Structure 1
Amino acid sequence: MTFQIQAVTVYGKQPGQIRTVPFRTGTLNIVTGDSRRGKSALLTIIDYCLASSDYPVKAGKVRTYLGAYAVTLVKPGQQLFVARRAPERGTAISTVLCILSQAPDTPPPPLEELSFTTPLDVAKDLLSDFCGIDRTVKVPAVARAQTIAPSIRHALYFCFQAQNEVANPDLLFHSQGEEWRPNTIRGVIPYFLGAVDPEQAALRNRLRLLRRDLSDLEAKLAQARDLGPASGQARALLTEAVEAGLLPHRDSEPTAEEVSSLLRIALEGRNQLVPEAGNDSDSDPLAAATGRRTQLRRAVGQNRARIADLKRALEENDDFAGHAREQRTRLASLGLMRVDRDTSQAAHCPVCESPIASANSTVAAIMHDLERLDGDLHVIGSDTPALQRLLAQEDEQLQRLRTALSRNQDEINEISAGLRALQREPDDVQRAAHVRGRISLYLDTTAQHVRAPQVEDRREDLQRQVAELEGLLSDDTQDDRLTSYLSLISQNIRTKAAALELDHSDAPIRLDVNRLTVVADTNDGPVRLADMGSAENHLGYHVATLLSLHEWFSEHRGPVPRTLILDQPSQVYFPPDYTGEPTPQGTDLSHLLNVYQTIVNTTQALDGALQVIVVEHADLADPLFRDHVVERWRYSNNQALVPPEWITEPIDEDEDEDE
């Protein structure tokens, strides 16, 4: 069971200053008031107290006159008090909180009784636990090579709608417009909807780690091979030895074992200096190494082109197979027509058993199409494994070519350095001594490498574990569960959209978690929220989507706070400077009341399992609105979040930001 918000408490900077804003759980709460009375600060204060990594409270009276903030969180039989100081001058945030477990209905304590000692990361874990989030679960991040541990901060994406979000056609969820947030939202949605099996998630994380270990091991083994006797550096030294006359010229490429032996021969000086060959360009070692590099680069380019072609073929196979399966499913659903296409027996209605004349030709055509699609799918299914094997072979070849390129570059570097050094030597004897010194240093270094602990080749064991986990996860139905859940939620969104009389509510509506938007599938094609006209539609689909998600969370025990906070939904219908009097009449008022009726209907249907907090400029006389008002902060009654008596200096209201 997760929590709702019982109160927001603010502490002034002077001793004894404390102000509490109470809320009713399980129902709609409205805080209405004029501009610059602190309404919007409620959302940012709650966000800050729930372990925010920044300080979202805007500049103005709230920042100027408040020294600490607190929220009281409740769930059946439990109460948690969370307080956090405003940042000290010169600091971005306060990194410690005060978290107290209290008996139900315990009032907020005075500031001097609070002890701010809980670090921010610990506070986030405690709040995640209180919310019911399983902190052992890791879900894969979208488009990033890491995992995400869902926390209270992720749950709040579905609980807040700030003033610039509640009717935004481009942003459906809280903080969606910030960097990396869209992919994070995509990554955690399956967990909060209940589509993630914790055991399967643990296996997926284990598989990810094993694949990373396998990749790291292959890199280490490749590095160890580069340090071995057949490395590019060794071959370059062999070339220098030939150039210095320590070894005779060889037409064939020596093996790794031969390179080591030849270097030792050159070092021990068993041969007399070999007369230097002519200056034929064909014997130029640097030119030969550069030529090999050109060939290797060409081979890499050809290999990459083959990989791109194979990947394109696999994608085309997948796309075709998907369309073919969809078409086959549609045709197969017509199998209610029970008829033998090879006989003249009429088909019968599956409901009333009445014969249906002239059905044979139609059914025969359908059966023919089904057989054709089955054949196509069989061909695609048999081609795909072969393409995957070819792709794996090309990937391995690319790795080998890259290793060869690395060795070749080492060889070029060594030859260049050696030639520069040799050019500085005045005679053949000194040049030979210089090369012997370089060979000696290299052999000593490789000897130390041989004596060092060798990298154990555990690739076979890691590959076996990866294959086992892939087999265990092959039957994982997380994607199917997510698709099913989103389909049910989308149906609920459409129902609420119809109640709100929104455009396209007569068409199928779906929540698209890849694009993080709502889409109407019309006869003219899909229409995304951003393409829908009218701010009323934008607001309506925001409200319908968030309410439908919270219904799902409540009915399926999703670990998300049972609180939805909306900042000024009436901005769609009334001007920003609307004061509440006189109350507008006509269609706009009717539509706004319809929004509130939908909210009330949802909270009532959930029987106390959902709390909705709305901050508003509007102050409607209709009982539907008036009966849910918990606070009125207007200049006429001298009420605000920050009590007027706390304000010791006059503030220019025209310059003070809307709070």
Structure 2
Amino acid sequence: MHLQIRSLVLWPRNEQFEPRVVSFAANKLNVITGASKTGKSAVIPIIDYCLGSDRCAVPVKTIRDACSWFGVVIATDDGEKLLARREPGDQQSTGDMFLLEGETIDIPHSVREKNTNVDAVKRMLDKLAGLSNLSFNPAAQGNNFKARPSFRDLLAFTFQPQNIVANPDVLFFRADTMEHKEKLRTIFPYVLGAVTPDVLARRWELDQLVREYRRKERELSAQRTASERWSAELQNWVSEARDLGLISSDSASPGQRPEQLLASLEEVVQKTSDDALVSDSALDAAAAETAGLDKEEGEISLQLAEVKVRLDNMTKLRSTVTDYTGALKKQRDRLQLSRWLRDLAGSTDATCPVCGGGLDHATDELDALCDALANVEANARQFEPVPAAFDKELVQVREQVRQFTDRLKGVRSRKQAIEARSTRIQRERWRRTAVDRFLGRIEQALIVLKTPDGDPALAAEVADLKVRLDQLRAGISDGAARERQKAALARVTATMARLLPGLDSERPNDPAELNIDDLTIRVTGRSGRPDFLWEIGSGANWLSYHIAAMLGLHDLFLSLKTSSVPSLLVLNQPSQVYFPRTLAKEAKEGDDPILGDEDIAAVRKIFVTLGAAAKASKGLQILVLDHASKDVWAHVDAHLVDVWRDGKALVPTDWLAS
């Protein structure tokens, strides 16, 4: 990701002063050299705060008392962006931010109000980095360690503050807390290019397909289990159909094959409860009358349904006409005012009765409104209201509904009376209900009985899902990701092996590799025993391995086709390991600790290595904040940003005086 710092900006509380702007060169080693307590160690916290940190780590008192806003101008592939954030005052942080975007940014004299917030800026940075919106593990929802990668996570590879740059226990920025350490372990395969956004998307698709496959497989298995159970009861279905009078006794004989039984049941589902009536029911007068009433009830129900549909349509038509007429009336009432205003405008020195302004300039608009009023009135005249014949027809239809409803109630009342008098009819009614229920059950049962292996369509879906799952698993195999990760780490190891001989390391030729499980460096000696960074003594060694690892990682990031990590590395006080503690204590405020000749040579190696790395990469910006003066690195390919000595510092002295 191309993201580099063009400028660091401080806005004073006293607006009579110009903002403090510290500018940097792109794609180069940039150096700010200065004495103690001049603000060098505040640069990383200011950049971090403007890039959306949850807390403000900018030192209190001098800097925060003098500044109202902090800002950085970043250069990206999408142009330049000014990200400014308000000094939090008594709070740990504030979400108030100010954003400017463009090809180039002109820094404003002051920032008075916010125009965005920190959450919006984080989303913008996530988008600029091209980060995936998907978490690393679809099954681990709610686990912050497995949550989607964010731009804030990537700053672990960007900053090496004073407490990290030569730390034997912590290699990466903010990895001294469990939360950030676990998240860093999670995102490492992603930043190394072993796990791509496409792989994450495939993992999510695979998770969804697995869920669907398991659900459909359970459904198919249930069908097959049910099929086996119902097949064993096939004879029972046929026997029940015989008892209800739906098939003959011959069709239910025990010697029939399953295919014959299924054929008999297929004939049964074509029948109705009327086909199951026993013949002697016709001899019962009550049963005959009930049958006639059933037929009459059906006819009346059909007629009633037709009349109800007609009534509904007529009611809807009347409602539509009423609504349309009301809408025309509202439009006409609203537009009536335009004619009065036009008449006023025709008189001399006419003024608006509402605002008192002249009306001569509004003639065209008033004419247009009057024309619209004329059109509305014309439409109203052309639209005919519902004729009286319609109301008459509507009354007749409602009367028909009432008549058919009364007739239906009468028929049902007669049926209930007959059934109450006739025990035989009650039994017959129960019998017909049982037949209807049986027919419904057997119709559903036949679907499975005819397909003992389950629904063929469902089986085809399960087979298709299985093929798609196999294809997805082949495309995102863990083995392939491990091979890509191994190759990426091998490149980092090779870069470290090339850089370490040029640094002040006691074991420059011992293989050193980045261990992403423990987030540290592992060095293998001649005996073959691996030593972790915390097992190796000397601050010079710790510093050398930190620098080699960071440069090795950025060399890898820049080689990837797409990388989300900013092409920026900021190191604070890398030369601190060469300052004797006694000399550092004796130095007065604002002085520099004294370096011996050997220490100067070691510090020069650091700047030579960083300058060469920035030049060779042609895309990496390195910022170094250090005590070492230009005399130490005079012949290094570097850009001197500023010298903070002799009263000059990050915060101008006149700001403090005011």
The TM-score range, normalised by the shorter chain, is: 0.5 to 0.7
1:616 is the counterpart of 2:626 = yes
How far did residue 62 of structure 1 move?
1.0
How far did residue 160 of structure 1 move?
0.2
Which residue of the partner structure matches residue 499 of structure 2? 496
How far did residue 560 of structure 1 move?
1.4
User: Do the aligned residues in 2 keep the contact of 1:580 with 1:619 (CA within 8 Å)?
Assistant: no
In structure 2, distance between residues paired with 1:183 and 1:467: 35
In structure 1, distance between residues paired with 2:172 and 2:509: 24
1:601 is the counterpart of 2:612 = yes
Give the partner amino acid of 1:136: N
1:632 is the counterpart of 2:640 = no
- Deviation per residue, 1:332-361 (Å, 9 max, x gap): xxxxxxxxxxxxxxxxxxxxxxxxxxxxxx
Which residue of the partner structure matches residue 43 of structure 2? 42
Which residue of the partner structure matches residue 449 of structure 1? none
In structure 2, distance between residues paired with 1:590 and 1:142: 54
In structure 2, distance between residues paired with 1:139 and 1:30: 38
- Give runs of aligned pairs for residues 301-312 of structure 1, distance below 5 A: none
Give the partner amino acid of 1:612: I
Which residue of the partner structure matches residue 12 of structure 1? 12
Give the partner amino acid of 1:647: L
Structure-1-length-normalised TM-score: 0.56
Give the partner amino acid of 1:624: H
In structure 1, distance between residues paired with 2:215 and 2:93: 38
Q: Which has the larger radius of gyration?
A: 2
1:551 is the counterpart of 2:555 = yes
The 1:160–1:215 alpha-carbon spacing in structure 2 relative to 1, beyond 3 Å, is farther
How far did residue 509 of structure 1 move?
1.7
Higher helix share: 2
SS in 1 for 2:47: helix
User: Do the aligned residues in 1 keep the contact of 2:74 with 2:82 (CA within 8 Å)?
Assistant: yes
User: Do the aligned residues in 2 keep the contact of 1:511 with 1:518 (CA within 8 Å)?
Assistant: yes
Which residue of the partner structure matches residue 134 of structure 1? 131
User: Do the aligned residues in 1 keep the contact of 2:36 with 2:591 (CA within 8 Å)?
Assistant: no
Which residue of the partner structure matches residue 103 of structure 2? 103
- Give runs of aligned pairs for residues 444-459 of structure 1, distance below 5 A: none
- Give runs of aligned pairs for residues 68-79 of structure 1, distance below 5 A: 68-75=69-76, 78-79=79-80
Give the partner amino acid of 2:631: A
Identity %: 29
Which residue of the partner structure matches residue 389 of structure 1? none
SS in 2 for 1:111: coil
Which residue of the partner structure matches residue 120 of structure 1? 118
User: Do the aligned residues in 1 keep the contact of 2:6 with 2:73 (CA within 8 Å)?
Assistant: yes
Structure-2-length-normalised TM-score: 0.56
User: Do the aligned residues in 1 keep the contact of 2:213 with 2:465 (CA within 8 Å)?
Assistant: no
The 1:520–1:5 alpha-carbon spacing in structure 2 relative to 1, beyond 3 Å, is same
The 1:81–1:463 alpha-carbon spacing in structure 2 relative to 1, beyond 3 Å, is farther
The 1:175–1:627 alpha-carbon spacing in structure 2 relative to 1, beyond 3 Å, is closer
How far did residue 462 of structure 1 move?
10
1:24 is the counterpart of 2:33 = no
In structure 1, distance between residues paired with 2:207 and 2:630: 55
Which residue of the partner structure matches residue 84 of structure 1? 85
Give the partner amino acid of 2:572: D
SS in 2 for 1:40: helix
- Deviation per residue, 1:417-467 (Å, 9 max, x gap): xxxxxxxxxxxxxxxxxxxxxxxxxxxxxxxxxxxxxxxxxx999999699
RMSD: 3.1
Give the partner amino acid of 2:558: S
For structure 1, the 5+ residue unaligned runs are 218-458, 650-659
The 1:500–1:484 alpha-carbon spacing in structure 2 relative to 1, beyond 3 Å, is same
Aligned length: 402
1:517 is the counterpart of 2:520 = yes
In structure 1, distance between residues paired with 2:502 and 2:599: 15
In structure 2, distance between residues paired with 1:206 and 1:36: 54
Which residue of the partner structure matches residue 455 of structure 2? none
Give the partner amino acid of 2:610: I
How far did residue 215 of structure 1 move?
11
The 1:504–1:475 alpha-carbon spacing in structure 2 relative to 1, beyond 3 Å, is farther
The 1:570–1:582 alpha-carbon spacing in structure 2 relative to 1, beyond 3 Å, is closer
User: Do the aligned residues in 1 keep the contact of 2:34 with 2:628 (CA within 8 Å)?
Assistant: yes
SS in 1 for 2:99: strand
The 1:543–1:127 alpha-carbon spacing in structure 2 relative to 1, beyond 3 Å, is same
Give the partner amino acid of 1:69: F
- Give runs of aligned pairs for residues 640-655 of structure 1, distance below 5 A: 640-648=649-657
How far did residue 41 of structure 1 move?
0.7
SS in 2 for 1:69: strand
- Give runs of aligned pairs for residues 152-163 of structure 1, distance below 5 A: 152-163=151-162
2:539 is matched with which residue: 526, 535, 541? 535
How far did residue 617 of structure 1 move?
2.0
Give the partner amino acid of 1:549: L
The 1:581–1:136 alpha-carbon spacing in structure 2 relative to 1, beyond 3 Å, is closer
Which residue of the partner structure matches residue 578 of structure 2? 573
Q: Give the stretch that moved more between structures: 612-621 or 460-469.
A: 460-469
Give the partner amino acid of 1:159: T
Give the partner amino acid of 2:92: A
The 1:215–1:154 alpha-carbon spacing in structure 2 relative to 1, beyond 3 Å, is farther
For structure 2, the 5+ residue unaligned runs are 217-457
Q: Give the stretch that moved more between structures: 531-540 or 205-214.
A: 205-214
